[in-house]
């Protein structure tokens, strides 16, 4: 870059920081916000972007470079994310939904042996309540979702009917989300996958930074022997981040999530490297070539391949081994993501603290609410914390939200509470699509094609979540004053003075 241009860029970035510091005060982490909170007047979002001048400078800097398409920032972010999680590769995509689509599409490749390849009509085990685009790719790729129930208190799969859902020769994949940051029962699900040689895709979109601990012997039996990077060993359990236990996992970087790049997401390839080439191919138009954008002939055989029925020597850059998509984000988005990643350990801690604060603050309202429980816990107590089940497995949640269910005996419904919170400007959400099979899209699908999906069991847990649950935010922008106000409003709604 010439000297004058370099000086100009420096000045633009200096001004950018100044501008951001002036303008983006409400987007700072709670501990740095200096704006007054006016109860009842200031809106409390359930989630949102938390950033400072670093992200804005990174976005502007990368935009000034004007490479635009995924480039050096993308490559660096992919490496940094993979190294944070301790997975082989991370591939950036333009959303969590795209990540789910690409991850599952990778398993449809003809390059896999037939018994491992997901083909039209094959089955994918999932759960009924959750976000629609965990499930939509299954149908979009011609496979059949098999819905199991959610445990109402964890939001996660009720593993009781896993074996019943299995269909020999047809079931190829288990794909589901860690609900609102709460890891699903990975010990049971992984053992099931190993027993039947199934792929596991963890939708980790809402759970970046959550950990799951499995007793060492059980983990070793599954071939898992190492903790995630930076997590010290306690000699009893293997502790790893969610999103690093299965074969593939996915992230969303849409603003309410743990990190944001505006729109964005990632597919994590946990250990088997060929999956990276398949996922990358589906992300990048279906191409066979693996050259990074702007590079040619990385394979050194650009004009020497003979694939399909193409003439020998046909340009490898334009050889397509899959019917792919183009789901890449932009480089300035990756530049933002890199700055966010540096703040991730702090974000995770803040989410945990906010959940705990709400739990303690609302503890005496147990006549009205059932509070969500981390998987493998059986109870919670203000003094002693969680009681664990006898499995030896533990979870530590990087919470996406604080979910509660309104008891049937309460004199109000969850919709009444949601309306009241709305009036009081307190952000709240239902558990995404609730029982998805009751959504118009799935009702229509069943009408059009009765074999489009299968349901195993009653889905009464998913229905309960749909009709009784809502969640409050736990994001790092929530100040103590906001959380206290939320607690106060809920308390006086339950017990009017
Ligand atoms: C569990 C889960 N999976 C996938 C997605 C989709 O992510 P995106 O909005 O980035 O497409 C979401 C969205 O919030 C989600 O909660």
Over 90: is that where the pLDDT of 139 sits? Answer: yes
Asked if residue 97 has its Cβ within 6 Å of ligand 1, the reply is yes
Spell out the residues 6+ positions from residue 267 whose beta carbon is closer than 8 angstroms to its own. 90, 91, 93, 99, 102, 103, 106, 248, 249, 250, 279, 283
Where do we find the tokens 């998805």? 436
Tell which atom from ligand 1 comes closest to the C-alpha of 133: 4
Asked if residue 205 has its Cβ within 6 Å of ligand 1, the reply is yes
Question: pLDDT tens digits, residue range 43-52?
Answer: 999 999 999 9
Least confident of 272-276, 410-414, 439-443: 272-276
Asked if residue 202 has its Cβ within 6 Å of ligand 1, the reply is no
Question: pLDDT tens digits, residue range 62-96?
Answer: 999 999 999 999 999 999 999 999 999 999 999 99
The torsion region of residue 151 among left (phi > 0), alpha (psi -120 to 50) and beta comes to beta
Please name each of the domains of the chain with its CATH number. Answer: 26-286+321-497 (3.40.640.10)
Q: What is the mean pLDDT of residues 162-188?
A: 98
Question: pLDDT tens digits, residue range 402-411?
Answer: 999 999 999 9
Share of the chain above pLDDT 70, in %: 100
| pLDDT tier, 345 (very low <50, low <70, confident <90, very high otherwise) | very high
Give distance in angstroms: CA of 253 to centre of ligand 1.
Answer: 8
- pTM for the whole thing? 0.98
Residue 273: predicted pLDDT: 79
Tell which atom from ligand 1 comes closest to the C-alpha of 252: 10
Q: Tokens standing for 345?
A: 């350990």
Q: What is the mean pLDDT of residues 220-233?
A: 96
Asked if residue 108 has its Cβ within 6 Å of ligand 1, the reply is no
The torsion region of residue 294 among left (phi > 0), alpha (psi -120 to 50) and beta comes to left
Residue 294: predicted pLDDT: 78
- How far is 365 from 306, CA to CA, in rounded Å? 69
Residue 221: predicted pLDDT: 97
Spell out the residues 6+ positions from residue 323 whose beta carbon is closer than 8 angstroms to its own. 286
Where do we find the tokens 């370099």? 6
Rounded to the nearest 5 percent, the helix, strand and coil shares of the chain are 40, 20, 40
Q: What is the DSSP string of 417-432?
A: HHHHHHHTTB-EE-ST
Asked if residue 431 has its Cβ within 6 Å of ligand 1, the reply is no
Asked if residue 206 has its Cβ within 6 Å of ligand 1, the reply is yes
Evaluate whether 348 touches 129 at the Cβ level (below 8 Å): no
Q: What is the mean pLDDT of residues 262-275?
A: 94
Tell which atom from ligand 1 comes closest to the C-alpha of 257: 14
Give distance in angstroms: CA of 268 to centre of ligand 1.
Answer: 15
Q: How many CB atoms lie within 10 A of CB 136?
A: 18
- How far is 298 from 289, CA to CA, in rounded Å? 9
Nearest CA to ligand 1 atom 7: 96
Asked if residue 252 has its Cβ within 6 Å of ligand 1, the reply is yes
Q: What is the 3-state secondary structure (H, E, C) of 9-33?
A: HHHHHHHHHHHHHHHCHHHCCHHHC
Q: What element of type H or E holds 282?
A: helix 274-283
Give distance in angstroms: CA of 326 to centre of ligand 1.
Answer: 18
Question: pLDDT tens digits, residue range 293-304?
Answer: 778 888 899 999
Asked if residue 94 has its Cβ within 6 Å of ligand 1, the reply is no
Residues recorded for the chain? 497
Residue 471: predicted pLDDT: 98
Active site positions, annotated: 257
Give distance in angstroms: CA of 366 to centre of ligand 1.
Answer: 30
Give distance in angstroms: CA of 180 to centre of ligand 1.
Answer: 11
Q: What is the mean pLDDT of residues 423-439?
A: 98
Q: What is the mean pLDDT of residues 165-188?
A: 98
Over 90: is that where the pLDDT of 292 sits? Answer: no
Q: How far is CA 125 from CA 23, 193, 257, 415, in A?
A: 46, 10, 25, 30
- How far is 180 from 182, CA to CA, in rounded Å? 6
Residue 452: predicted pLDDT: 98
| pLDDT tier, 183 (very low <50, low <70, confident <90, very high otherwise) | very high
Q: How far is CA 361 from CA 302, 354, 483, 490, in A?
A: 63, 10, 9, 10
* Pocket-testing residue among 93, 205, 329, ligand 1, by greatest number of atoms within 8 A of Cβ: 205
């Amino acid at each position: 870059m010439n000297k004058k241009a370099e000086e100009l860029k420096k000045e633009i970035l200096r001004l950018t920081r100044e501008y951001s510091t002036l303008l983006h005060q409400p987007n700072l982490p709670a501990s740095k916000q200096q704006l007054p909170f006016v109860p009842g007047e200031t809106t409390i979002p359930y989630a949102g972007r938390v950033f400072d001048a670093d992200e804005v400078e990174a976005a502007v800097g990368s935009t000034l470079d004007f490479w635009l398409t995924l480039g050096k920032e993308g490559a660096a972010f992919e490496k940094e994310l993979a190294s944070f999680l301790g997975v082989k590769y991370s591939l950036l995509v333009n959303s969590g939904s795209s990540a789910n689509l690409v991850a599952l599409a990778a398993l449809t490749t003809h390059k896999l042996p037939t018994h491992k390849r997901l083909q039209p009509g094959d089955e994918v085990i999932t759960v009924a309540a959750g976000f629609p685009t965990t499930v939509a790719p299954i149908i979009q790729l011609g496979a059949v979702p098999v819905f199991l129930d959610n445990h109402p208190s964890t939001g996660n799969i009720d593993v009781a009917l896993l074996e019943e859902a299995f269909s020999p020769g047809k079931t190829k994949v288990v794909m589901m989300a860690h609900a609102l940051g709460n890891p699903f029962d990975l010990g049971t699900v992984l053992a099931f996958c190993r027993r039947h040689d199934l792929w596991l895709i963890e939708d980790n979109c809402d759970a970046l930074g959550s950990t799951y601990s499995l007793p060492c012997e059980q983990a070793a039996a599954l071939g898992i022997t190492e903790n995630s990077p930076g997590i010290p060993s306690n000699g009893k359990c293997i502790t790893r981040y969610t999103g690093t236990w299965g074969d593939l996992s996915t992230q969303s970087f849409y603003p309410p999530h743990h990190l944001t790049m505006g729109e964005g997401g990632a597919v994590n390839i946990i250990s088997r490297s060929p999956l990276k080439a398949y996922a990358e191919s589906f992300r990048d138009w279906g191409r066979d070539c693996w050259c990074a954008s702007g590079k040619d002939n990385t394979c050194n055989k650009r004009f020497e391949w003979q694939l399909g029925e193409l003439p020998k020597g046909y340009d490898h850059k334009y050889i397509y081994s899959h019917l792919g998509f183009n789901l890449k984000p932009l480089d300035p988005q990756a530049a933002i993501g890199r700055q966010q990643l540096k703040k991730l350990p702090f974000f995770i801690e803040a989410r945990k603290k906010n959940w705990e604060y709400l739990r303690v603050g609302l503890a005496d309202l147990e006549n009205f609410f059932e509070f969500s429980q981390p998987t493998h816990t059986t109870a919670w107590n203000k003094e002693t914390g969680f009681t664990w089940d006898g499995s030896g497995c533990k979870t530590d949640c990087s919470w996406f939200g604080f979910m509660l269910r309104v008891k049937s005996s309460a004199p109000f419904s969850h919709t009444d509470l949601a309306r009241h919170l709305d009036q009081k400007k307190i952000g709240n959400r239902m558990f995404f699509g609730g029982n998805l099979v009751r959504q118009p899209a799935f009702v229509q699908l069943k009408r059009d094609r009765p074999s489009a999906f299968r349901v195993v069991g009653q889905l009464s847990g998913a229905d309960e979540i749909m009709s009784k649950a809502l969640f409050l935010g736990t994001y790092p922008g929530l100040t103590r004053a906001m959380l206290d106000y939320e607690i106060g409003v809920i308390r006086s709604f339950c017990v009017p003075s």
